[in-house]
Structure 1
Amino acid sequence: MAAGPTLRRGAQGLALGALLLLFTAQLLGAQLPNAPLLCVAGGAGLALDLALRQWWPGVLVPLGRVRCDETMRQLLRDLLVVVGLAHLAEVSTAVRLLVVAGLLACYALHFLTRALAVLVRRSRTLPVLTRNIDTSELRLRPAPPRLLTGAHRRMPLFAVPATAGMLGTVATGRAAWSLLGVGCSLLLFAGGAARLATWLLPGRRPPSTEEVLAWFQRWLEEHRPRVGLYFSGGSGTAYQVNMWLGAVAALEENALVVLRERPMVQQLAPTELPVVCVPKVAHLMLLEHSTLRVLIHPANAPKTSQVLRIPTIKHAFVNHGESDKLSSCNPYAKVYDEVWVAGPAARERYALADVGVDDRDVVEVGRPQLAPIHPYTGPPPAEGPITVLYAPTWEGWTNDPGNTSVLLAGERLVAELLADARVRLLYRPHPMTGSVDPRFGAADARIRALVAAAERRRPARAGARSPAPAPRGALLRRSAGPVAERGALAAGAPPEPDRTAGELAHRTARLEALTSRGWRPGADDVERMLWQSAPAEGHQEAVAAATRAWRAAFWAAQDPEGHLVLTGPRPDLYSCFNQADLLISDVSSVVADYLAGVKPYAVVNTSGLSEEAFRAANPTVRAATVLSPDVAELPELLAAVVDPRLDRLAGARAELRAFLLGPTEPPSQVRFQQATSALLARAEARGGRPGAGRRGGRP
């Protein structure tokens, strides 16, 4: 796997080198002059440019960064062909002038089309974007074809007739080919500009900003939302809001999702909640005149301060996970009316941190999203496999090696696990690993390579080892409810590869059909807003059922002893929890969530602290086996996972689960609803006071 980036860079270098070589050959063909060389190099260069743009556009990105984009490359290509015409073709001066004038007109129309594309794009930039809301009143229309709005596609394609015609003249000496080719390209550019201009006609223009805002106000008055899930974040942070969609959708009150960044509208997971994206703070203030009274915040962001200005809304911070990291008791939390936490541990964390959060404003609601995690039902069979989930966190913004074990202990840990014939390793790195410090990304790549190499060797090793089959009831005990996820494994027989692979392909297609929007190339925000205006009835239930079926098919299709590197949104982390007999992680919210199943876990200590100090500083480690960077404790840990008599931390895990996540009764969703209702009541009481602000003491 480590060779992947190297191979990609090598292939990219070869492609760019081929383009440079063809331009050099074209220059030589024009200057020598040599008609065959010029024709072959010119035609091959244009064909390669088009092929790379269509099938491998990433190769051309470095050229764009140095301003050698498609327009510049085509201009150079045409210039060399014109030079070749002057040297090789006996055409009159008038013909050459016509050809050059036609080419200049083509470029003028190309730049005119680019200007029109900017105007169209600006006219279709609405002040509010939505999902799951009926937008028929706005009379939205599809976007122009991508060919007309993307200069990188239009220029080389529309220039094909002109280049081919001029090369035809070079090869045959007939001027008609040049005139015909340039004329065809001129018609294509002119037609494209005229076609794109129709999107600026009054009948095809989107509604004005004033019309959209008036429509949005009317929708707020009709829908009457009471609770909102507010989120602002960049690429790769959608998981922070996605984990709370189900809990908010299950609330009794009318709810919606409020976003601030346009790309986040499509990154949001499937939901039946109405979704509104309001990028500008001036338009966000429309919420002040709505029935919205409570906003729930899963993350801190610079734009959060903007919505805090609205005096009619109460704000609750729920975070996107709880851990012993300093970020879990951020001083910024004191700006919210209430801080909703999972259990007593977080309340204690804020009190000890002394960051200005009043204990009266801390409300314990549990973690509603942990309901899919199955409880511990017994150890794995002694002969294996022991499924170990290694899910380290990332390096964090502080660039402290103690944040994650990936760099200081990850490779050694994975190597030791892979060396144990009983262990099946699931490696799930944090998606942001290496985003701050490349060293951690490189360590992650080496770990992935170790897992891949071990999996390639495993069939031969497994054949030599010939383990006895697990007792029929062993895997059933471990499933404890997730029998469907265990699939064929729960039946005590190995899955048939062809059947399970076919089932997985079927379930994947079904889930993709339900969750992917299937936008045509070139669809913009307005077109997406048009086609996702209202969810089909029962769509969310269908997505949930398809997701459960996909999980079952995925795990059934895997070798029960095979090592896996798991990235991306599927399978989700909680599904991995249900497969694992043991979690190894760092100080992170992953540990607290895993404790919902009360199964054995370990935390790697790369902080430099002693074990005693490490446990004292991190309450989530109280019931964990602490692994030092040399992972010398690993054999004893695996023995305790297999033999409950050696597991001295079982009772501590049960106690810690209640401390971290709160009681199991009433269910977390019930407590979440109670907290929402109570904060709504506070908001209504506060809103009834003339001139009352959003804070200033509890009522």
Structure 2
Amino acid sequence: MPNPWEKLHVLHMLARRGSLIGVLTALTASYAALVITAILASPLAFAAFLLVASALDLLVERRFRPVVALLRRAQFGISHRAFVQIFLLLLLVAITDANREMSRPELLVISIVALGVPVFRIGYLGMLTLVRRRLLPSVEVRNVDLPEELQPVDPPRFLVQSLNPRMHALGLLPVLAGAICVWLGYFWPFGIVMVAYTVVVGAGCLLLLRQLMALGNRPNRQDLVDGVSAALREQHHPEVVLYFSGSPNSLYQAEMWLRTLEKMPHRSVVFVRQRHALRNLGRTRLPIVCIPNQVDLMNFTLADARVAMYVANVGNNIHLLREPRVKHVFIGHGDSDKVASFNPFSKVYDQIWVAGPAGRERYARAQVGVRDEEIVEVGRPQLDVIERWHGPLPRFTPDRPLTVLYLPTWEGWTDDDFQTSLTVMGLDLVTRLLASPVPIRLIYKPHPLTGTRDPRAADADRQIRAMVRAAARRTGSVPATRAAELREIEAALDQPNLDVEEAERLATRWRDVFWPAQGARHVVMTGRLPQLFDAYNVADLLIADVSSVVSDFLATGKPCVVANPKGLAEEEFRATFPSTSSSYLLHPGADIEEVLTTVLGGDPLAEARIRARAYLLGPDHPPAQQRWNTATEALMATADLEWDGQHGAGPELEQATAFVEPSTVPQAIGDGRLPTSEDKAVS
């Protein structure tokens, strides 16, 4: 039987794409009309279609970003279209009767004056590019106070804000005036408009030139790198580096560790390689340093750093991994049975930190070259805030429904990694849950990377969101007073200068208001709030794919259902993915009602979850944060012992090792120690 939600989604998709196709067709037709009216020598019609085309240009730039990207790839962006308008005006002037009363020099003068529109536009944009390049700092920071001479400088907003639409609208005036002048038969109004256009754009160019000359007194690239390094050391003395490089959708990989590092007794710094991360990383007390260029990173001195922690295996890691005086640790972004948790790249690190014995055994089974002594079990410090549930689940009623948390993973980079349930059973699963005779409140949170590789996953995600939100509307709305209170808190949280303590207080208040206000309503989680661990505490049952959330949810003590989208036999599935040993399995085509009946009828895997918790997450005592701190202390001590105080990263490495003569290097490597002062004297 066809799913009505699928039909609704198809209609929505067609309507959405239809609007894009429609506006693109209208824009193309308007420029075709400009060509035709210029050839037919119809100045008034040309002026009318010029207004239509320019209005469509501004509409596309503001509301239809996919069309903007498509036109740019087709070499017909808004700047190209502005040039087309000028050249069509010159074509109109050349073809109409107006030019018959002109001499050749007069026609040449009008053409040269008209070409001033694209020339001045190119000049302004070129000057702005130079200013932006000079203004773009090689190093950017948060939570670090820089001297005034090192602080970034922004050009006046009126010179850069909404630049393309404003320049396009400004350039429209001379073209429109030229078309009217062709109809009138005299061109002095066109000359006046061109003078005004030249004055306005020329003044902007002069302001940019003045700014560019003033920037000549700013510190150069290396001076800025050295200045930021000195300020960071003076104010924070960071000994631990959290390193992140990735897309905006991957920021969660670093954010999950911020509170853990804030609780450490040693000071930490967050290193990011993309400017978006500096802007969008969650609020933290930690200093954040953004260094996009690898040479700048290698020239940046971290004189106190002894440990660097990596949250993902990415190519940019090598720019810090090359530093031998720092101990490098892979902490990942969650323990799971997916390939990311036993990647062969992991053997480049000094140590690999896992949650429990399962992580250690996972590397042993994979045989990717990671030695057992390089693995340290530190638990999952983030889970210390999870509430532990004891005993059977409560009795569920329409007023107190069974809260099911559905957390599908993304589709992975390769088919070998493919473990998402979205494309295979996601729609059917959600449909059955929403229609279940058991009172159910569904909380749905897609993975941040959903749909990045497989469009089918993105389509399934959109359909599920629509289904859950429609079902939520049918169960009533949030009380008006609660909704107003939530909006007030969210507005306060959006304040850019909000300190971390106040933000945490507001987030706690928001959470205390949000969940009671939902009642039995279904929830789609897509933003920063509500947070994932809040959903763990609220949920009664988790449905997930093979991912780190399966292990993390064990901290709650509540039952978990894991999807088996490939339909593997149960024995094979559990052998391949040991983290699912205490989870109920959902096979393709299997009815979720059968699983719910088993869970609510006695929960036979309750005891198995207790054993699995210790296996996957390690012991409850001492707390994971304490074990994490102990592992950090031990690694710092190793770094101090090996380098005798010469830790840290940056160009000082050459000075630190300059005394080692070539003849002493083999001996130093062979006996496992560094050259001592006696070795130095002998050499």
Scaled by the length of structure 2, the TM-score of the pair is: 0.86
- The reply on whether 1:381 has 2:395 as its aligned counterpart is yes
**Alpha-carbon separation, structure 2, partners of 1:98 and 1:497:** 69
- Mark the CA change 1:84 to 1:281 in structure 2 (over 3 Å): closer, same or farther: closer
Instruction: In structure 2, give the amino acid aligned to 1:653.
Output: R
Say if 2:593 is the partner of 1:635.
yes
CA contact (8 A) 1:387 1:423 kept: yes
Q: Cα deviations across residues 164-217 of structure 1 (Å, max 9, x unaligned)?
A: 322332454452321121221122221221111122114565421132123134
What is the letter of the counterpart of residue 43 of structure 1?
L
**Residue among 61, 64, 72 paired with 1:53:** 61
Give the aligned partner of residue 157 of structure 1: 169
What code does the residue aligned with 2:483 have?
A: A
The 1:696/1:648 distance shift into structure 2, 3 A limit, reads: farther
CA–CA separation in structure 1 for the residues paired with 2:572 and 2:66: 49
1:308 and 2:321 correspond: yes
**Equivalent of 2:138, from 127, 138, 142?**
127
CA distance in 2, matches of 1:250, 1:202: 43
1:622: Cα distance to partner?
1.3
Secondary structure at the aligned position of 1:271 is classed as coil
- Say if 1:166 and 1:212 are closer, same or farther in 2 by CA, change over 3 A: same
1:320 equivalent in structure 2: 333
CA distance in 1, matches of 2:673, 2:442: 50
**Which residue number in structure 2 is paired with residue 412 of structure 1?**
428
- Residues 79-129 of structure 1: per-residue CA shift (max 9 Å, x gap): 333343452657745665443222222322222222222322222233322
1:611 pairs with 2:551: no
CA contact (8 A) 2:403 2:540 kept: yes
The alpha-carbon deviation at position 446 of structure 1 amounts to 3.7
The residue type paired with residue 274 of structure 2 is E
Alignment match, 2:625: 669
1:569 corresponds in structure 2 to 528
Q: Note the C-alpha offset of 1:509.
A: 0.7
Task: Evaluate the alpha carbon distance shift between residue 121 and residue 571 of structure 1 in structure 2; reply closer, same or farther with a 3 A threshold.
Answer: same
Q: Which of 438, 445, 448 is the matching residue for 2:455? A: 438
Q: Which residue number in structure 2 is paired with residue 216 of structure 1?
A: 228
- Count of matched residue positions in the alignment of Structure 1 and Structure 2: 638
Cα separation, partners in 2 of 1:190 and 1:309, compared to 1, 3 Å: same
Is structure 2 residue 648 aligned with structure 1 residue 687? no
Shift of 1:284: 2.5
Closer, same or farther: CA 45–602 of 1 in aligned 2, 3 Å: same
Residues 580-633 of structure 1: CA distance to partner in whole angstroms, max 9, x if unpaired?
11101111101111111111111111234211221222222111111111123x
DSSP 3-state at the match of 2:537: helix
Alpha-carbon displacement from aligned partner over 1:464-516 (angstroms, at most 9, x marks no partner): xxxxxxxxxxxxxxxxxxxxxxxxxxxxxxx8621111111111111111xx4
The answer to whether the 8 A contact 1:95-1:175 is kept is no
Secondary structure at 2:494 match in 1: helix
Contact 1:288 1:312 in 2 (8 A): no
Q: Which residue is 1:489 aligned to?
A: none
Q: What is the letter of the counterpart of residue 552 of structure 1? A: D
> Cα–Cα, structure 1 residues 659 and 331, in superposed 2: closer, same or farther, change >3 Å?
same
Distance 1:281 1:36, change over 3 A: closer
Instruction: Tell whether the 8 Å contact from 1:342 to 1:660 is kept in structure 2 after alignment.
Output: yes
Deviation at 1:246, TM superposition (A): 1.0
Contact preservation (8 Å) 1:168, 1:174 = no
- 2:408/2:447 contact within 8 Å kept: yes
Deviation of residue 77 (structure 1)? 1.8
Q: Does 1:396 align with 2:412?
A: yes
* AA partner of residue 429 (structure 1): P
Secondary structure at the residue paired with 2:248? coil
Q: Which moved more, 1:112-121 or 1:595-604?
A: 112-121
Following TM superposition, by how much is the alpha carbon of 1:566 offset from its aligned partner in structure 2, in angstroms?
Answer: 2.4
Aligned partners of 1:694, 1:170: CA distance in 2, in Å?
85
Q: Is the 8 A contact 1:262 1:277 kept in 2?
A: yes
After the TM superposition, which of the residue ranges 77-86 and 413-422 deviates more from structure 2?
A: 77-86
Of residues 9, 30, 38, the one that matches 2:17 is: 9
SS at match of 1:390: strand
Q: What TM-score comes out, normalization by structure 1 length?
A: 0.85
Alignment partner of 1:156: what SS?
A: helix
Cα-to-partner distance string for 1:530-571 (whole Å, 9 max, x where unaligned): xxxxxx7xx21111112222233333443x333333223332
Cα pair 1:217 1:286 within 8 Å, conserved: no
Structure 1 residue runs of 5 or longer lacking an equivalent are 463-494, 518-535
Moved more, 54-63 or 677-686: 54-63
Match of 2:501 among 541, 545, 551: 541
Match among 533, 537, 547 for residue 588 of structure 1: 547
Shift of 1:454: 4.2
State whether structure 2 residue 211 is matched by structure 1 residue 199: yes
The answer as to 2:370 corresponding to 1:362 is no
2:118 alignment partner AA: Y
- What SS is found at the alignment partner of 1:233? coil
**1:9-88 alignment runs, 5 A limit:** 9-86=17-94, 87=96
Displacement of 1:339: 1.3
Contact 2:244 2:271 in 1 (8 A): yes
Alpha-carbon distance in 2 for matches of 1:80, 1:647: 76
CA distance in 1, matches of 2:481, 2:183: 58
Distance of aligned partners of 1:696 and 1:267 in 2 relative to their CA distance in 1, 3 Å threshold: farther
Q: In structure 2, how many angstroms separate the alpha carbons of the residues matched to 1:115 and 1:158?
A: 17
For 1:406, give the aligned amino acid: L
Distance 2:293 2:641 in 1: 29
Distance in 2 of aligned mates of 1:695 and 1:630: 61
Q: Is the 8 A contact 1:640 1:647 kept in 2?
A: yes
Q: CA shift at 1:56, angstroms? A: 4.1
Q: Are the counterparts in 1 of residues 358 and 616 from structure 2 also a CA contact under 8 Å?
A: yes
> Larger deviation: 131-140 or 247-256?
131-140
Decide whether aligned partners of structure 1 residues 506 and 321 sit closer, same or farther in structure 2, where only a CA change above 3 A counts: same
**C-alpha distance 203-392 of structure 1, shift in aligned 2 (>3 A):** closer
From 505, 514, 522, the counterpart of 1:554: 514
Asked whether the equivalents of residues 162 and 185 of structure 1 are also in contact (C-alpha less than 8 Å), the reply is: yes
Structure 1: which amino acid aligns with 2:504?
A
CA distance in 1, matches of 2:587, 2:365: 27
Q: Does the 8 Å CA contact 1:70/1:155 hold for their aligned counterparts?
A: no
CA distance in 1: counterparts of 2:146 and 2:635, whole angstroms = 31
For 1:281 and 1:444, the matched residues in 2 are separated by 37
1:522 alignment partner in structure 2: none
Deviates more, 1:377-386 or 1:242-251: 377-386
Residue type at the aligned position of 2:487 = A
CA distance in 1 between partners of 2:38 and 2:298 (Å): 63
Kindly indicate whether the alpha-carbon contact (under 8 Å) linking 1:391 and 1:430 is maintained by their aligned counterparts in 2: yes
Aligned to 2:129: 118
Q: Report the CA distance between 1:419 and its aligned residue.
A: 1.6
Distance 1:353 1:225 in 2: 35
Residue 566 and residue 696 in structure 1: after superposition, are their counterparts in 2 closer, same or farther (change >3 A)?
Answer: farther
- What code does the residue aligned with 2:83 have? L
Matched residue type, 1:603: V
Residues 162 and 184 in structure 1, CA contact (< 8 A), matched pair in contact too: no
**Is the alpha carbon distance of 1:606 and 1:51 closer, same or farther for their aligned partners in structure 2, counting shifts above 3 Å?**
closer
Output one character per residue of 1:127-164: Cα deviation in whole Å (capped at 9) or x when no partner: 32211111224343532246645763353132133123
Residue type of the alignment partner of 1:213: V
Whether contact under 8 Å (1:380, 1:642) holds in the other structure is no
- 2 CA distance for matches of 1:444 and 1:336? 36
Cα deviation, 1:239-261, whole Å, max 9, x if unaligned, reads 10111111112111121111223
Q: Deviations over 1:221-249 (max 9, x none)?
A: 42422111112223321110111111112
Q: Report SS of the residue matched to 2:155.
A: coil
Describe the superposition over 1:20-69 as per-residue Cα deviations: whole angstroms up to 9, x where unpaired. Answer: 22223333333333343222111222233234324444432221111112
